[in-house]
Chains A and B, each alone.
Chain A
Amino acid sequence: MAAPDAGRHAQNDGCRTLSLSAHVGFDSLPDQLVRKSIKHGFCFNVLCIGETGIGKSALMSSLFNTNFEDAPSTHFLSSVQLRAQTCELQESNVLLKLTIVKTVGFGDQMNKADSYQPIVDYIDAQFEAYLKEELKVIRSLFSYHDTRIHVCLYFISPTGRCLKTIDLLTMRSLDSKVNIIPVIGKADSISKAELEEFKKKIMSELISNGIQIYQFPTDDETVSEINTIINGHLPFAVVGSMEKVKIGNKMVRARQYPWGIVKVENESHCDTVKLRRMLCTNMEDLREKTCAYYELYRRCRLEKLGCRDIGPENKPISLQEVIEAKRLKFFLEMERKEEEIKQRFVQRVNEKAAMLEEAEQQASMPVCLEFVF
C-alpha cells in the first residue's frame, strides 16, 4: 500500500485555494472510508513469545474474551516451533479477524543460542508472502489475507530480578522487524513493591542494550496524554485466566487463591485491562508501523535481488526492465545447466555400459561368490 499523497497537495506551487460558496459534500469522505473498511472487516495478527507455561493462551483468552484453549505443550521439544490460531470476533458491527501466533517450546532447550531463529524466520516468511503477492502480475491485494505480524507480546518471566539473557538476544533480533511490547507474565507472584523495582530494572536494561520497543504514539492530541502515562507503565504486569469465578452474582475471570482472589479486570491487581485498552485504541498505529517495517524488509530484499531505484546513468529504472533482464539471465542459465546434465548423463551411461561388460566377462569365469550388499 503506497503512502497516501494527500499531504503534497498543499505544497504544490501553482495551485490556488478556492473558497466554496455552498456545501459540496466531500466531507463525507472519511465516513465512506469507514463504511468501506467496516464492510471489509479488519484483521489483526498478534505474536506471543514466551516460555512454556508462562500464560500466553490465558492472557489472549482474557484480552479478547474468547477461549483460545490449547493443550498444554511439553517441555521436551528439540526446537522452537510456532502455532497459529485464527478466529473471527465481532463487536457491534465491526468484524475483526484475529490471528494469534504462539511459540511452542521457547526457552526449554539446553542450548538456547538459536531459539530466536525460528521466530525471525516466521516473521520474514510473512513479509515474503506479502511481497510475493505484491509482485504478482495479477494480484488481489484487496482481498488478500494479510498475515504480517502487527504486534509482538514478549512475555518476561516474573523472577522479580532482571531480564534473562535469552530475552535480550531474542528482542535484539526482533526489534527491527516487529513492534515489541514487553509484558510480565503470571504477575500475581510479584508483590507491588517488588513490581516497581522490577519494571524499572527491565526498562533500564532494555535502554542500555539499545532495544527498541514499541512506544505508544504521543503526537495525536486526543491520545497523547494517556499514552505518555501508559508508556511509563511498561512493561505491563499481566495476569490471565481461562476460568471464571463467581463473585457476588457475576462470573468474572479471576484466580482464586486460599488467601484472596485476583481479578483479571481489576486495574489495581494487574495491568491486563490497560494492555487491552492500549492494543485496541492503537491498533491502526500498530498496523502503520508494521507497514514501515515491511517497507524496510522489502527494500533489503529487492536490493539483494539486484534492483536499484537509480540506474547506472542516474536514471530511474523500471522494475519491469529489471525483472525481464533477470528472467533472460535465468533462462540462459537453465539452458546451460540442461546441456551439462545431458552431457553427464551420456557419460555415465557409457561408463555403466563398460562396467557391465566387464562384469559379464568376469561372471563367465568360475569364481567364489561374494555378495556385496
Chain B
Amino acid sequence: MSTGMRYKSKLVNPEEKQDHEKQYVGFATLPNQVHRKSVKKGFDFTLMVAGESGLGKSTLVNSLFLTDLYKDRKLLNAEERINQTVEIIKHTVDIEEKGVKLKLTIVDTPGFGDAVNNTECWKPITDYIDQQFEQYFRDESGLNRKNIQDNRVHCCLYFISPFGHGLRPVDVEFMKALHEKVNIVPLIAKADCLIPSEIRKLKERIREEIDKFGIKVYQFPECDSDEDEEFKQQDRELKAVSVFPPSAPACVFKMKAGLDSSSEHLFLSDAISKEERFESAPFAVIGSNTVVEAKGQRVRGRLYPWGIVEVENQAHCDFVKLRNMLIRTHMHDLKDVTCDVHYENYRAQCIQQMTSKLTQDNRIESPIPILPLPTPDTETEKLIKMKDEEVSTISACASWVLELESKEFLQGCPIEAVLRLPAPVSHCCGLLGWRTGCETCGFLCQGNIAPFHPRHRCFCAQAGVNTL
C-alpha cells in the first residue's frame, strides 16, 4: 500500500470537478507535498527493548527489522551477573526502503532483572529517558533550533516471560515506573512454549493484572472515518482475535458473519472488532534469525522435532501483527504520543518545578532560560497569586484533616464535610484515557488531574478561563 495512492483517492471526482471548476484552488496536492518533503527529510525512530535475559529480545529486533544489530555481543556468565547493574546501550543504524530513509536507534537494557537484588533496577532506565527529554527541552528552548536531534524514546517493548502465570513483581514495578514516560507495548516472549489455550489464558490474566495495577500501556487508536478502506480492514484485523486454531468453527462463523452482506459489512465487523478490540494484546511473539524449509518454501522459523514454527504465520504467533502495528501503521502515532503527551507532561512538570523554585528564591535568574510565556497582565497575576494562596491553605488543611482522620471519631466522615468545602468538581480534563483534550484550551493531558493542576492554571489562565 503506497501512501501516495491514499491521498489521490480523496480528490474530487471528475463530475464534481466540472461543476466547481471555478472554485478549484489546488491545495488538494498538499498531502503529496508533505509526502515528498518527509521522504527527503527522512525519519527517525527510537525503540527501547526491556526484559530479563534470555527472552529473545535481540532475536525479535533482528526479525522485525530484518538486519543483524547485535554482531559482537558479549554475554555474561551467571557468576559475573550476581551484582550486575543495568546498562543502557544504544545501537543506531540507517536503513532504507523504497527511497524512505529511517534512522533507527535501538536502546538495549542488558542486566535488567538479572541481579539477585532487583529493587529499583529500572532507575537507570527512567534516568535515561528523563535525560533525553531534558536534552530535547534544552534544545527546544535554545536560540539555534535548526538541527534538533530527537533522541527521545518513542516506544518501549517490554518482554514478559511466558514461563510464569502472568506478571511478576519486577514487571509490575517496571511498567508502573515507566508508563507515564514512554509508550509501553507489552509482549509475551518465546510464545512457542505455549499452546493456544494457554496463550489465551495468559493474555487474559495479563490484561486483568494491567488493569488491576493501573498500568497505562499504549492503546492503538481507532481509524478516522475517512481513512482508506484497506487501512481500516487492516486495523480491524489487528484488533480481532489473534490466535484461533484452524479447527475452531465457532470463531470462524463469527468472523464470517461480519463479512457476509456488503451493506452490513462495516456495521457487523465493527461491532465484532470493538468487542474483541483488546483481545490480541499483549502480543505473543516468536523471533527467529534462521530460515528453514517448510512445505517447500523458505520461511523464517524454528525447527523442532515435532514441527516447524513459522514466525510470519498468523496462526502461530502475533509477530506479523506486532510488525504491522509497530512499523507499518502506527510508527508515527507512537512518535506523536511521545511528543504530545509524555514530553509535554515532562516539560510542564519541569517548568512548574522551576517556577515554584523561583517564587521561593524571589525571582532569581535561573541558568536555564525560561520559555517565552506571554507575561500575564496584572489582573491574571493577581488571580494566580490568590489561587496559589488558596492552594497552600487548602493543602495545610488537608494535612491537618489527615491527622484528625487518624483519630477514630473522624473516620468515615468525608473531608469536605469536615472542612465545609463544596465537593470537588471533576475537572474539565479529568476524562479517562490519554488522548482526550481539555474542553477549554484543547490541551492534551493524561487521565485524571487534580483540580488544582498547575499546568492548567498557567495555560487556561491565559485564556482568562476560570478552571477552578
Binding site for B on A (CB under 8 A): 51-55, 72-76, 108-113, 157-169, 185-186, 188-189, 191-192, 205, 208-209, 255-263, 268-269
Let me know if B193 and A158 touch, CB within 8 A: yes
**Which residue of chain B lies nearest to A193 when distances are taken between CB atoms in the complex?**
B303
Give every chain B residue within 8 A of A162 (Cβ-Cβ).
Answer: 75, 77-78
* Other A-B pairs, 19, CB within 8 Å; known A260-B304, A260-B308: A53-B164, A73-B165, A112-B117, A157-B161, A158-B193, A160-B54, A162-B78, A164-B114, A165-B82, A166-B116, A167-B78, A168-B79, A169-B82, A188-B304, A191-B302, A257-B192, A258-B245, A258-B313, A259-B309
Tell me the minimal C-beta distance from B215 to chain A in angstroms: 15
- A269 in complex: contacting residue of B168, B173, B246, B305, CB < 8 Å: B305
| Known contacts A53-B163, A165-B114: A157-B77 contact under CB 8 Å | no
Let me know if B114 and A262 touch, CB within 8 A: no
B315 in the interface (beta carbon within 8 A): yes
Let me know if B305 and A259 touch, CB within 8 A: no
Give every chain B residue within 8 A of A205 (Cβ-Cβ).
Answer: 77-79
Let me know if A255 and B114 touch, CB within 8 A: no
Within 8 A of A (CB), among B288-340: 302-310, 313, 315-316
| Known contacts A51-B164, A168-B78: A189-B190 contact under CB 8 Å | yes
- B163 in complex: contacting residue of A51, A74, A113, A168, CB < 8 Å: A51
6 pairs, CB–CB < 8 Å, chain A vs chain B = A109-B169, A110-B170, A161-B54, A164-B114, A167-B78, A209-B79
Report the separation of the CA atoms of residues A110 and B118 in the bound assembly, to the nearest whole angstrom. 5
Tell me the minimal C-beta distance from A7 to chain B in angstroms: 42
B167 in the interface (beta carbon within 8 A): yes
**Which residue of chain B lies nearest to A52 when distances are taken between CB atoms in the complex?**
B164
- B167 in complex: contacting residue of A75, A163, A255, CB < 8 Å: A75
Let me know if A260 and B306 touch, CB within 8 A: yes
**Which residue of chain B lies nearest to A155 when distances are taken between CB atoms in the complex?**
B163
Tell me the minimal C-beta distance from A260 to chain B in angstroms: 2
Q: Which of A72, A110, A158, A268 has the most CB of B within 10 A?
A: A110
Report the separation of the CA atoms of residues A205 and B82 in the bound assembly, to the nearest whole angstrom. 14
Let me know if B163 and A186 touch, CB within 8 A: yes
Give every chain A residue within 8 A of B306 (Cβ-Cβ).
Answer: 188, 257, 259-263, 269
B53 in the interface (beta carbon within 8 A): yes
B178 in the interface (beta carbon within 8 A): no
Tell me the minimal C-beta distance from B332 to chain A in angstroms: 33
Let me know if B163 and A110 touch, CB within 8 A: no
Let me know if A159 and B193 touch, CB within 8 A: no
Give every chain A residue within 8 A of B52 (Cβ-Cβ).
Answer: 159
Within 8 A of A (CB), among B183-235: 190, 192-193, 195-196
Report the separation of the CA atoms of residues A256 and B115 in the bound assembly, to the nearest whole angstrom. 35
Tell me the minimal C-beta distance from A293 to chain B in angstroms: 25
A interface secondary structure, majority: loop
Give every chain B residue within 8 A of A52 (Cβ-Cβ).
Answer: 164-165
Give every chain A residue within 8 A of B305 (Cβ-Cβ).
Answer: 192, 268-269
B interface secondary structure, majority: loop
Give every chain A residue within 8 A of B308 (Cβ-Cβ).
Answer: 259-260
Tell me the minimal C-beta distance from A240 to chain B in angstroms: 12
**Which residue of chain A lies nearest to B315 when distances are taken between CB atoms in the complex?**
A258
Let me know if A169 and B77 touch, CB within 8 A: no
**Which residue of chain B lies nearest to A254 when distances are taken between CB atoms in the complex?**
B306
Let me know if B302 and A161 touch, CB within 8 A: no
Give every chain A residue within 8 A of B182 (Cβ-Cβ).
Answer: none
Let me know if B78 and A191 touch, CB within 8 A: no
Q: Which of B78, B307, B308, B316 has the most CB of A within 10 A?
A: B78
**Which residue of chain A lies nearest to B168 when distances are taken between CB atoms in the complex?**
A75
Let me know if A159 and B78 touch, CB within 8 A: no
**Which residue of chain B lies nearest to A257 when distances are taken between CB atoms in the complex?**
B195
Give every chain B residue within 8 A of A167 (Cβ-Cβ).
Answer: 78
- A110 in complex: contacting residue of B55, B82, B119, B316, CB < 8 Å: B119
B166 in the interface (beta carbon within 8 A): yes
Let me know if B304 and A192 touch, CB within 8 A: yes
B138 in the interface (beta carbon within 8 A): no
Binding site for A on B (CB under 8 A): 52-55, 75, 77-79, 81-82, 114-119, 161-170, 173, 190, 192-193, 195-196, 245-246, 302-310, 313, 315-316
Report the separation of the CA atoms of residues A185 and B163 in the bound assembly, to the nearest whole angstrom. 9
Give every chain B residue within 8 A of A189 (Cβ-Cβ).
Answer: 162, 190, 192-193
Let me know if A159 and B196 touch, CB within 8 A: no
Give every chain B residue within 8 A of A54 (Cβ-Cβ).
Answer: 163
**Which residue of chain A lies nearest to B190 when distances are taken between CB atoms in the complex?**
A189
**Which residue of chain B lies nearest to A260 when distances are taken between CB atoms in the complex?**
B307
Let me know if A258 and B165 touch, CB within 8 A: no
Tell me the minimal C-beta distance from A264 to chain B in angstroms: 11
Give every chain A residue within 8 A of B302 (Cβ-Cβ).
Answer: 191
Give every chain B residue within 8 A of A157 (Cβ-Cβ).
Answer: 54, 161, 163
Report the separation of the CA atoms of residues A209 and B77 in the bound assembly, to the nearest whole angstrom. 11
Give every chain A residue within 8 A of B165 (Cβ-Cβ).
Answer: 52-53, 72-75
Report the separation of the CA atoms of residues A160 and B196 in the bound assembly, to the nearest whole angstrom. 22
| Known contacts A51-B164, A72-B165, A75-B168: A165-B116 contact under CB 8 Å | yes
**Which residue of chain B lies nearest to A189 when distances are taken between CB atoms in the complex?**
B193
Tell me the minimal C-beta distance from B285 to chain A in angstroms: 13
Let me know if A163 and B307 touch, CB within 8 A: no
Report the separation of the CA atoms of residues A161 and B190 in the bound assembly, to the nearest whole angstrom. 14
Report the separation of the CA atoms of residues A143 and B203 in the bound assembly, to the nearest whole angstrom. 49
Smallest CB-CB A-B distances: 6 pairs: A260-B307, A159-B54, A189-B193, A260-B306, A53-B164, A259-B307
Give every chain B residue within 8 A of A113 (Cβ-Cβ).
Answer: 116-117
**Which residue of chain A lies nearest to B166 when distances are taken between CB atoms in the complex?**
A75
Q: Which of B53, B54, B163 has the most CB of A within 10 A?
A: B163
Tell me the minimal C-beta distance from B248 to chain A in angstroms: 11
Report the separation of the CA atoms of residues A159 and B113 in the bound assembly, to the nearest whole angstrom. 14
| Known contacts A110-B170, A186-B193, A191-B303: A161-B53 contact under CB 8 Å | yes
Give every chain A residue within 8 A of B316 (Cβ-Cβ).
Answer: 258-259
Give every chain A residue within 8 A of B77 (Cβ-Cβ).
Answer: 162, 205
Give every chain B residue within 8 A of A169 (Cβ-Cβ).
Answer: 82, 116
Give every chain A residue within 8 A of B54 (Cβ-Cβ).
Answer: 157, 159-161
Give every chain A residue within 8 A of B304 (Cβ-Cβ).
Answer: 188, 191-192, 259-260, 262
Give every chain A residue within 8 A of B114 (Cβ-Cβ).
Answer: 164-165
Let me know if B163 and A165 touch, CB within 8 A: no
**Which residue of chain B lies nearest to A73 when distances are taken between CB atoms in the complex?**
B165
**Which residue of chain B lies nearest to A256 when distances are taken between CB atoms in the complex?**
B195
Report the separation of the CA atoms of residues A22 and B52 in the bound assembly, to the nearest whole angstrom. 73
Give every chain A residue within 8 A of B173 (Cβ-Cβ).
Answer: 110
Give every chain A residue within 8 A of B116 (Cβ-Cβ).
Answer: 111-113, 165-166, 169
Tell me the minimal C-beta distance from B188 to chain A in angstroms: 12
**Which residue of chain B lies nearest to A161 when distances are taken between CB atoms in the complex?**
B54
Let me know if B307 and A110 touch, CB within 8 A: no
- A163 in complex: contacting residue of B55, B78, B246, CB < 8 Å: B78
Let me know if A111 and B118 touch, CB within 8 A: yes
Tell me the minimal C-beta distance from A183 to chain B in angstroms: 14
Give every chain B residue within 8 A of A160 (Cβ-Cβ).
Answer: 54
Tell me the minimal C-beta distance from A342 to chain B in angstroms: 41
Give every chain A residue within 8 A of B168 (Cβ-Cβ).
Answer: 75, 108
Report the separation of the CA atoms of residues A112 and B313 in the bound assembly, to the nearest whole angstrom. 39
Report the separation of the CA atoms of residues A149 and B169 in the bound assembly, to the nearest whole angstrom. 30
Report the separation of the CA atoms of residues A347 and B309 in the bound assembly, to the nearest whole angstrom. 81
Report the separation of the CA atoms of residues A219 and B265 in the bound assembly, to the nearest whole angstrom. 75
Let me know if B307 and A257 touch, CB within 8 A: yes
**Which residue of chain A lies nearest to B76 when distances are taken between CB atoms in the complex?**
A162
Tell me the minimal C-beta distance from A171 to chain B in angstroms: 10
**Which residue of chain A lies nearest to B84 when distances are taken between CB atoms in the complex?**
A165
